[in-house]
Structure 1
């Protein structure tokens, strides 16, 4: 029975953060949608779905608490891997939506960064808050079988569990097969298991507004300001760190690509875009970039932005000045 016989359905939302971010990356880089999952839109979907499952008016279906758990790089490691801006951007989104964040440091094991203890922390917090805040429904955004004991325990105290899960596969930029699939045990024990991959594809085909709102409808902010215009008449060679160059791109895949710069082409990722959307790039496009160094102390491309193919130097300069004036007007 609801607390004090209230008809309100109290919802607690718990995110396995790295699982959610992997899903968001899939829709941004792999899925035809080419957009990230909107947390605000996801919460609105949750309210409507819980209202439908619980047979109440959506106004009585309210998210009263939400928590985001994730292993995170140290500030130094995030800086070296060019993740500081995107980590802060995520924090801003979570903070503005009132989602409580819980971070643990990633640990290096066998040469790889690994997340340890987050699932246990999430489970303990979810159970404790379910008891103290009298959640009617806990929404779990996860896919790991490690959460099965949590769902079983929530079932014993009468808290229903809605499991939002995804099932998809793709080939990554290294040519390796990647598969994401929720544990069958999770699906069996959840009160309301929701296969979001089917929900999204069916909703997009039917052009349903609530599914459309699950996606961010504006370009991602960029980490770097646009570099000053240059006046090339063709590809410019990579020089010392900070050198601005121009060349074409190749081997675009899954958020990564290379700027053609023999003998060693320069690697870049979507995080290195200074303006524009990575998904708008095509192989053979001309881009302007700044030479940088990555965490392996190798040359790479930073501040990448799409430009027109090189022309006569004076014509290019005039075009850049006109573009800058247009930007000022915007």
Structure 2
């Protein structure tokens, strides 16, 4: 039951973590903004949006609790997929913002890792906390129709629900159309449906500072310190694990690419950047890298960083005849 005679609007924020990270990836890799969503900026936006909907001063709209739910790889699997650093980086961001994390192990079904039970856990926590912590508004960052029963229950206890939802589509690295949009059932049952894709695009075009603050403006931290070996004057062939090489980028797609290195070009992803921003790379750029091995025990490029083109010695040739591998799936990580 909501506390009476209090002007404060108590806000609880609940993240479907997989959904949120998909949104953040979209703005980083697909959208013209080329930046990830800032959680701090998103919380500030939420306060202003709730204040506007509730017709109160923004100082009276306060986030008193926030929770992040996500399926998670085991430490061994995260290490093998080079995800340990990025998982820890996300933990640091959530911890510094005071967001409570809830993780469940990802389960392998039909040969694929799947998230099971997260939506149920989120719904149970949100309903329990809404009743015990007297939230006036719950902000749900999700899109699945599985949350409809939660919203109906929140409506019965008098807690308003704001849904932050996105509607966009793009073509992935396989040439397939990908669509993200919230369930129509969700939109019909929430108190405040908020079309974030429209708000963001309009705000960016008008230079709205609140919308600009929704994005991270600093480069992503890197998993490894930059290596500065003695650079050769031309391409070098891949050697044993740990060998530092230099070559050009053959292909780039959404978050991954290949470095030219016969006989098999070396796969790398944005997570393998040693410095700089993946989105600043272009096909044909020269990069330094360290030879690594992926979970399939195949050579790949790690600690990738863009470098100036070396001065070629007379007679050096390095053409397309050495380039054999085409774009593959990011499963090679």
- Normalising by structure 1, we get a TM-score of 0.94
Q: Conserved in 2, the CA contact under 8 Å of 1:222 and 1:273?
A: yes
Q: 1:69 to 1:221 in 2, by over 3 A?
A: same
Q: Contact (CA 8 Å) 1:242, 1:290: kept in 2 or not? A: yes
Conserved in 1, the CA contact under 8 Å of 2:71 and 2:106?
Answer: yes
For residues 143-169 of structure 1, what are the alpha-carbon distances to aligned partners after superposition, in whole Å with 9 as ceiling and x for unaligned?
Answer: 000000000110111100000011111
With over 3 angstroms needed to count, the CA separation of the structure-2 counterparts of 1:74 and 1:325, relative to structure 1, is closer
Instruction: Name the CA shift for 1:327/1:253 in 2 (closer, same or farther; >3 Å).
Output: closer
Deviation, 1:176, is 1.9
How far did 1:323 drift?
Answer: 34
Q: Tell me if structure 1 keeps the 8 A contact 2:296–2:332.
A: no
**What are the ranges of 5 or more consecutive residues in structure 2 without an aligned counterpart?**
none
Q: Can you list the C-alpha shifts for 1:63-90, whole angstroms capped at 9, x where unaligned?
A: 0000000000000000000000000000
CA contact (8 A) 2:30 2:170 kept: yes
How far apart are the structure 2 equivalents of 1:329 and 1:209?
40
**Corresponding residue SS for 1:79:** helix
Contact 1:169 1:179 in 2 (8 A): yes
Query: 1:234/1:198 Cα in 2 relative to 1: closer, same or farther (>3 Å)?
Result: same
Q: Residue 267 and residue 17 in structure 1: after superposition, are their counterparts in 2 closer, same or farther (change >3 A)?
A: same
Is 2:199 aligned against 1:181? no
Report the CA distance between 1:211 and its aligned residue: 0.1
Query: Cα distance, 1:230 vs. partner?
Result: 2.6
The Cα of 1:314 is off from its aligned counterpart by: 16
- Select the structure that is richer in helix: 1
Deviation at 1:328, TM superposition (A): 37
- 1:320 — aligned with what? 322
2:45·2:214 contact (CA, 8 Å) conserved in 1? yes
User: C-alpha root-mean-square deviation of aligned residues, in Å?
Assistant: 6.8
Supply the distance in 2 between the matched residues of 1:193 and 1:155 (Cα, whole angstroms). Answer: 14
Question: 1:216 Cα deviation (Å)?
Answer: 0.3
| Cα gap change, 1:258 to 1:327, in 2 (>3 Å) | closer
Unaligned runs of 5+ in 1: none
Once residues 4 and 187 of structure 1 are traced to their aligned partners in structure 2, the CA distance between those partners, rounded to angstroms, is 28
**Using a 3 Å threshold, how does the CA distance of structure 1 residues 251 and 126 change in structure 2: closer, same or farther?**
same
Give 3-state SS (helix, strand or coil) of 1:146's partner.
helix
Aligned-pair CA distance for 1:5: 1.2
Cα drift, residue 265 of structure 1: 0.6
Distance (whole Å) between structure 1 residues aligned to residue 12 and residue 315 of structure 2? 60
- Give the TM-score, by structure 2 length: 0.93
Residues 196-205 or 246-255, more deviating: 246-255
Number of equivalenced pairs: 330
CA, structure 1 residues 313+44, in 2 after alignment: closer, same or farther (shift >3 Å)? farther
* Distance (whole Å) between structure 2 residues aligned to residue 47 and residue 323 of structure 1: 47
Q: Distance in 1 between matches of 2:318 and 2:301?
A: 22
Whether the aligned pair in 2 keeps the contact of 1:233 and 1:313 (CA below 8 Å) is no
Distance (Å, rounded) in 1 between the aligned partners of 2:328 and 2:20: 40
Range moving further from structure 2, 309-318 or 220-229: 309-318
CA distance, structure 1, for counterparts of residue 293 and residue 43 of structure 2: 39
The 5 Å alignment of 1:56-135 reads 56-135=56-135
Aligned to 1:86, the other structure's residue is in SS state: helix
